[in-house]
A and B are shown apart, each in its own frame.
Chain A
Amino acid sequence: MSTIAGIREKPSVVSTGVLVIGAVYCLFPVLWVLAASTKNGAELFSTLTLAPSSHLWDNIVQLTQYRSGLFWRWMLNTALYAGVGAIFSTWVSALSGYVLAKFDFPGKSGVFKVLLMGVLVPGVILAIPQYLLLAQVGLTNTYWSVLLPQIISPYGIYLARIYAAGAVPTDVIEAARTEGAREMYIFNRIAMPMMLPGLVTIFLFQFVAVWNNFMLPYIMLGNDHLFPITVGLNGLLNQGASAPALYTLVITGALLSIIPLVILFLVLQRYWRVDLAAGAVKA
């Protein structure tokens, strides 16, 4: 009847083995990047093994010197797009999800269905018309051009709705209403704190999505001081025929760009409430 949580069963070599093989497979390219970023240009293209060399620091210095520290500017830009973008996005998703879950009004299911259809539209297709529309108001090639389109996240609203339905008891809302509280007050002071763990999940999803996004900033930005890392590193590879592709810089940059996300994951692991995505929230 009670769970046997404390008693450890005999470990299975097969299960553990399969999992570890999967883990090694997933880690292998990361290890390769680590080893490759310790090699200098000549070594990168003449030694093929995973044996590391000693030039990691030199590569990082070279990367920093490229156009006076542009890479670190790209890192900051990415953190800004992802961080601020995800904050705005989470707030909008939370508010919309809450209203869709907790209110009854004409047109509600229609609104929800239309919003969900947004999930089906590929970002690549949207990027061009978004550019043309933003150009009408002269906002292209600015930070806004990358932030604004990524605030609306139909998937985030979908998740927020599930979470609001499960986490915020209607009775509490009713009670607050009878006491004369305004709706936004109820949302800000009562509902949001209850939804917080789920909101962290939504924030992390959107953070990673924006961090990894290539197409939108690629189309919107012409000034390379505004680039995020994805666009910046891609540019280092595609310098045209008359300039060498800067492979060592790209590889070192790739390694450095993985690190912040890894740290973010490890630190926020306990908040990673992906059960929403499963649609299986249980009381």
Chain B
Amino acid sequence: MRTSLRVGAVAMLAAAALLTAGCTASSGGDGSGKKVELTYWAWAPNLDKVVDIWNKKNPDIHVTVNKQDGGDPAITKLLTAIKAGSGAPDVIQAEYQKIPTLVAANALADLSKTSANDTKSHFASGVWNSVTLGGNALYAIPQDTGPMVFYYRAGVFDKLGLSIPKTWDEYAADARAIHKADPTTYLGTFSSNDAGWFTGLAQQAGASWWGVSGNAWSVNIDKKPTQKVAGYWGGLVQEGIIDNTPMYTPEWNTALNTGKQVGWLSAVWGPGVLSGNAADTAGKWKVAPMPQWDSSKPATGNWGGSSTGVTTQSKHVDAAVKFATWLNTDPAAVKALVVETGIYPADSSAANAALTKAPSFFSNQPDFYKVAADAAKTVSSFTYGPNVNVAFSAYNDEFAKAAQSKQRSAFLTAVTNVQQITVADLKKTGFTVK
């Protein structure tokens, strides 16, 4: 009756509205003539403000940012779209460890024949390696890196008369002292949920979890450097002087706020996280280089950092390359990235020009970016393989068990298990594994 008709009419109208809305939400311009529309999947906060600058200066190439939830979901969606044959964006923010996976899935366009190749001189060789995978192809333009450093609550160290740890032995001693003075306080925690953090630590010790040898991959997780790092942390957790709960949880946030976590091994983008989670502790933290295994050969790891790639489904590769080049090497763009998104740019000269003042959270330490630049110079090399996700997810499961058991031996077993799972996955798909 009238009900049915009314319902039908409402549904019809809604459907019509949706159809048009659905059309505008999809990406892609028409290829010919004037305005090119590019979609850019990224998760760096406030990136759209940077992109606005580009859009104002370039009315003929319009970029729309589709903010993603984070690195993993973005890449998962991209891979699904590539497999499905449609739905991928033009430009993608790709973390370095994801690049081999993306290349293996034929998701990233080879930019070596475009003007992107000319940006090589802007970046350190290690970073450039991550986007070329050591070959002649170019898969992305580096955007930012995450050299690892050590953050600590200066007041706590002063009060207990502790010096900044220069070696890992000193770090352990400091952790012991801090925990002894107050059994509810820790210098840090071992996080089974942050594989990137752990690989950075392993990287510092000289590990490189994958390697290429001819036409075969090798998996080198269960080797001395990683075993050394795992055993070290297992010992600290077993002794009880380092906490064993994951980071980025409400509990961890509370601990940062209430002074139960007084140190954080993290990367140069750390101020953003600290100010977001523990705003009231601003000015109480300081940054220092990471503790070293060998003081004569300073090294550090890298946690995070991403690049800008162009997908194989893009119909406007040249326009996309123009945009990506501008975003990551133009001084004004890099400055905007620093201000809006808080990243540490990979373009060394632009970074130095833009990073003159310490972040406001570290207003008490004017030489913050000098420490950061020094750290960036000592990042060791690390090769990522085609199944990084498998290794990282195995890390989550195995080290969760190890951390929970609080036994050093369990940490070593975990390393072996991660190796086994990673190798098995490669073999299953038909890779030759040395």
With A135-B87, A141-B87 given, is the CB distance from A244 to B272 under 8 Å? Answer: yes
Cβ < 8 Å to B, chain A residues 217-251:
218-219, 222-226, 234-235, 238-247
Q: Is the CB of A242 within 8 A of B4?
A: no
- Is B18's beta carbon under 8 Å from chain A? yes
Query: For chain B residues 79-134, which have a beta carbon within 8 Å of chain A?
Result: 80-81, 83-87, 89
Give CA–CA (A20, B89) in the complex, Å. 53
A270 to B277, CA, bound (A): 45
A16 interface hit (Cβ, 8 Å):
no
> Once the chains bind, are B196 and A241 in contact (CB under 8 Å)?
yes
Residues of B within 8 A of A188 (CB): 1, 4-5
A238–B73 touching, CB < 8 Å: yes
Q: Interface residues of A, CB < 8 Å — how many?
A: 48
Task: Say whether, besides A46-B258, A135-B85, A223-B25, A242 and B66 are in contact (CB < 8 Å).
Answer: no
- A192 and B1 contacting across the interface, CB-CB below 8 Å: yes
Question: Chain A residues near B19 (CB, 8 Å)?
Answer: 144
Q: Are B1 and A84 in contact (CB under 8 A)?
A: no
CB contact under 8 A between A239 and B257, given known A45-B278, A144-B18: no
Instruction: Please state if B26 and A138 are interface contacts (CB–CB under 8 Å).
Output: yes
Instruction: Judge if A42 is at the interface, Cβ distance under 8 Å.
Output: yes
- Residues of B1-39 at the interface with A, using a CB-CB cut-off of 8 Å, are 1, 3-5, 7-8, 10-11, 14-15, 18-19, 21-23, 25-26
* A254 within 8 A of partner (CB): no
In the complex, what distance in Å separates the CA atom of A138 from the CA atom of B363? Answer: 50
Given that A87-B10, A222-B41 are known contacts, is A138 also in contact with B86, CB under 8 Å in the complex? yes
- Residues on B with beta carbons closer than 8 Å to the beta carbon of A128: 80
Would B25 and A135 count as touching, CB distance under 8 A? Answer: no
CB nearest to A232 among chain B residues:
B69
| Given A80-B14, A140-B84: A241 touches B303 (CB 8 Å cut-off) | yes
Instruction: Compute how far the CA of A34 lies from the CA of B303 in the bound complex, rounded to whole angstroms.
Output: 37
A144 proximity list for chain B (CB < 8 A):
18-19, 22
User: Which residues does B use to contact A, with CB under 8 Å?
Assistant: 1, 3-5, 7-8, 10-11, 14-15, 18-19, 21-23, 25-26, 41, 43-45, 48, 66-73, 77, 80-81, 83-87, 89, 146, 194, 196-197, 248, 250, 253-254, 256-258, 267, 269, 272-273, 275-280, 303-304, 342-343
Q: Which A residues are within 8 Å of any B CB, using their own CB?
A: 41-42, 45-46, 48, 67, 80, 84, 87-88, 91, 128, 131-132, 135-136, 138-144, 147, 188-189, 192-193, 196, 218-219, 222-226, 234-235, 238-247
